[in-house]
Amino acid sequence: GVEYKIGKKIGEGSFGIVYEGRMLSEGNWVPVAFKFEKRNPSCPQLRDDFRKYTILKGCPGIPSAYYFGEYHLHNILIMDLLGPSLEVLFTKGGRKFSLKTVVSLARQMLCIVKNVHEKALIYCDIKPDNFLIGRQSSECA
């Protein structure tokens, strides 16, 4: 079976709590995020997210989701651990990006949105907080 190790809490909000951790895959420990939400049958956000990540599997710029299930009174989603959001990077950089950075980011973001739309999904919450920097290069770069 697959082995997981949960680490420290890295985020929290109305959606739930996110922990960093590791997953043993093919002999290597891979960084992953553990997302927990209280079970709510009328609005299972993480189940819906897992379904969408499954549809988008292999698309450049989209993280992989490895597991969805129930743990005690929570739903849990295990997926790739990503870096900071564009909003965090923008703020850390004095709220300025160079023109070269803006053009590069725009190309990558448009490529990702195009790939999502080609899978017949519509993403309605496009904002800097929702674009996270990956830990590896993508074909949309």
Catalytic residues: 125
Token digits of residue 68: 């969805």
- Determine the Cα–Cα distance for residues 58 and 73; give it in Å rounded to an integer: 31
Strand, coil or helix: 111: helix
Q: At residue 38, what are phi and psi to the nearest 5 degrees?
A: -65, 140
Q: Which residues contact 85 (CB under 8 A, 6 or more apart)?
A: 128, 129, 130, 131, 132, 133
